[in-house]
Amino acid sequence: MSRISLEESDLKRLFDALNDSVEPPEELVAKLFPSFMEKLAAGGKFDFEALNRIRIPTLEYAGKRQEGVILAGAVLLGQSAPLQILRTFGEPGEDGWRNLIVQGDNLQFLKTVFLNQDPLIKDKVKGKVKLIYIDPPFGTGDEYGGSGGEESYTAKIMGSEFIEGIRERLVFLREILSEEGCIFIRIDYHFGHYVKIVMDEVFGNNNFRNEIIVRRGQSKAGFFKQFEKINSIAVAYDTIFWYSKRPETRFLKISKDAPDDDRVNGKWMNLIKSKAYDRPTMKYELLGINKDAPWMWSKDRSFKAVDNYNKYIEFSRHTHESLEEYWNKTGRALEFVRRNNNQIQYWIPPRDQVLVDNNWLDITGYSHQTGYPTENSEELLFRTLQITEPDDLIFDCFGGSGTTAAVADKLDRRWITCDFGKHAIYTMQKRLLNIADSKALGQEKPSKKYSLPPKPLAVVSVGAYDFSRVMDLRKNKEAYIAFVLALFGIPREEKDFAGKYRLDGIYAEKDGDPVEIFPVWEDDYLYHVRLDEDYLKQILIQSRGRIRGNYRIIVPETCTIVGDLTLKNQSGEPVSFKLLKFPYKILEEASRNFSLEEQPNSPDNINNLVSSVGFYFHDDVAVEARKTPGGLTLSRFSTPIVNREGKTYEGLEGLSLVLIDLNYDGKVFNLHKAVYGKEIGEDGGIGLEGVTEKTAVIAIDRHGNESKPVYMK
């Protein structure tokens, strides 16, 4: 066993550290625990950061999980959820990079990035993100509407469920950050203080950089005038917490336009004396003043600046020019120091920019360019992204209207954004594709257009939903079978299908053809087996020619890696495999009716931050519309989805949202207006100016499936 050998000075350092309640220096740990360090040298790891984290206050709440459990959730399936390219715009350059708009639940997407297997993002994103900006729902319980009063998304999940939802995303976000990266999270008074503690836990309190305050919009102070007495005062700001991945990282400075006067005139400030400069070279007599505290500047620098000022005084006796004029004439580089009564002052020359502090109330926090609710201002993101360099990768997984993406694009940063709302996705797509017509960043000429095309981008779907709340299918096999059959409107039959088709796993027939249910209640199938071409070939081999025509398989989207396929059976006849896919999330939605291993603690928090379910049917959602004098009317709408009772929706009942492009070019759908189902009368009428034959609509049903764009009839 290795011997401990400590010098006198080591002991002193150890006691000092203990007395100050700080970590002993790393090399002392090596001396104190030599055998442990030998293990480390042999490939073990010791996480000093983790030690640091243990010492901070932590937040306790119901349902809080270990980080390890959260991260393990990503590997449960054994493979990542596939990213599917939906649309691409522009051709990538030599590096092959495209910016990404990701449609789907950000937790699922984060897990996919964390697993780092999908070819689209493999080795390009994990550990490479330089800046994360997120502005999640604030956990207020509010519903947020578009500028037309539509309901766009809801922040309905509250309490510990909300905090845990944020925390698990933060854990994954930390894992995908680059070592030199950092994260900004915008939040408000409802949960801000809890989020701060959670950020300390996840990132380490030594990575805390700043708390920044951001304007919320028009102050509501006037509202309180009507009351004699009040119970609180108006709220004027949101908070942004800024954390880094590593404490030693340094970032580019953030500046803003200087006030008008500062651009023309210089000003005198006291030359600070501070203990921070406590070095012998900084202690000297300056213009007859010799205080104990050291000066902010070195002796050489100060003396030269005094000399410069004396020269200027001498010079201006004849020319009467101002110090600004003199400074400009001499090349805008000279520094000046003077004595003013008992103060030593240095001169700050005129400047176009000044550095910012953490009060950002000077700029707007929200703006209303896109009509999407809670759109953050480009000024705010412009300021935030200043700490990064061109080409850095910027990530926002609560994308909304796409402010982070738009600003990153204008600043030549690469970006990835994500949102599961279709309204958000089409808003972002439009915003990016029309970026040339938007305002240039910076304040000098507010009306100047940006005028450059967007960098190459792709809209992709994360294609699957979160598996984190897998219900206990072993106990609920029968409920599951009944549920998924009802989902697709197929009645269950008790027949000897095994005898008829020589196959297990068939539970019903549709139009006389067999319907198999992929057996997710068996762990092996749930986590490892994937429905691929070989799987289908096995079915043909086992059934020995008993199958011809159509063969349907009901399968969660995450468990299949093929789409519809036609193969030949043993007699050479075609068998058309039709996959009835659905996202696993739908099971969570349904799980209220089943007994669960992990019961949700309220009917409202079945889902993560915001609920979203969607089917992947092959029958498209169908819509037809015609032009009317006042706008347009939906003359037909149908969706194959069914409600909880297993019935299809009548009329417009199953409609969630209609997206309208007034002038559709047949290629790119340019969202002009989003109208929610609730706002459309029973006759399908939508009031809107500018509708022509070139106007097209997309209908989105209540499960998120969308129709193809169709022109007016």
Distance between CA atoms of 664 and 686, rounded to whole angstroms? 18
Report the site for ligand SAM in 102-131 (rule: CB under 6 A).
105-107
Amino acid at 119: P
Q: What x-and-dash track marks residues 579-608 binding ligand SAM by CB under 6 A? A: -----------------------------x
Distance between CA atoms of 238 and 491, rounded to whole angstroms? 53
Please report how close the Cβ of residue 107 comes to ligand SAM at its closest, in angstroms.
6
Distance between CA atoms of 258 and 445, rounded to whole angstroms? 15
Distance between CA atoms of 100 and 458, rounded to whole angstroms? 5
| Options 398, 426, 467, 521; binder of ligand SAM; rule CB under 6 A | 398
610 binds ligand SAM (CB under 6 A): yes
Asked if residue 394 lies in contact with residue 408, where contact means CB atoms within 8 angstroms, the answer is yes
Distance between CA atoms of 95 and 123, rounded to whole angstroms? 13
Please report how close the Cβ of residue 161 comes to ligand SAM at its closest, in angstroms.
13
Question: Which range touches ligand SAM (CB under 6 A), out of 31-39, 414-422, 429-437, 640-648?
Answer: 414-422
Please report how close the Cβ of residue 154 comes to ligand SAM at its closest, in angstroms.
9
Question: Which range touches ligand SAM (CB under 6 A), out of 189-197, 209-217, 272-280, 393-401?
Answer: 393-401
Q: Which is nearer to ligand SAM, 153 or 518 (CB)?
A: 153
Tokens 């690469």, residue located: 414
Question: Which range touches ligand SAM (CB under 6 A), out of 101-109, 210-218, 284-292, 661-669?
Answer: 101-109
468 binds ligand SAM (CB under 6 A): no
135 binds ligand SAM (CB under 6 A): yes
Mapping DSSP to helix (H, G, I), strand (E, B) and coil, where does residue 365 land? coil
| Options 375, 392, 516, 624; binder of ligand SAM; rule CB under 6 A | 375
Distance between CA atoms of 233 and 247, rounded to whole angstroms? 37
**Residue 616 neighbours by CB under 8 Å, 6+ apart:** 557, 581, 582, 583, 705
Tokens 């028009």, residue located: 218
Q: What x-and-dash track marks residues 26-45 binding ligand SAM by CB under 6 A? A: --------------------
Q: Which is nearer to ligand SAM, 106 or 639 (CB)?
A: 106
| Options 420, 480, 664, 669; binder of ligand SAM; rule CB under 6 A | 420
337 binds ligand SAM (CB under 6 A): no
611 binds ligand SAM (CB under 6 A): no
Interface size with ligand SAM, residues (CB under 6 A): 23
Residue ranges in 45-189 assigned as alpha helix (H): 48-54, 67-75, 106-115, 159-176
DSSP state letters, 303-333: HHHHHHHHHHHHHHHHH---HHHHHHHTTS-
609 binds ligand SAM (CB under 6 A): yes
Tokens 């340019």, residue located: 670
400 binds ligand SAM (CB under 6 A): yes
| Options 73, 137, 365, 514; binder of ligand SAM; rule CB under 6 A | 137
415 binds ligand SAM (CB under 6 A): no
Asked if residue 17 lies in contact with residue 24, where contact means CB atoms within 8 angstroms, the answer is yes
Report the site for ligand SAM in 140-179 (rule: CB under 6 A).
153
* Other beta carbons within 10 Å of 6: 12
Tokens 């799980």, residue located: 591
Distance between CA atoms of 372 and 402, rounded to whole angstroms? 10
Q: Which residues bind ligand SAM (CB under 6 A)?
A: 105-107, 135-137, 153, 372, 374-376, 398, 400-401, 403, 418-421, 424, 608-610
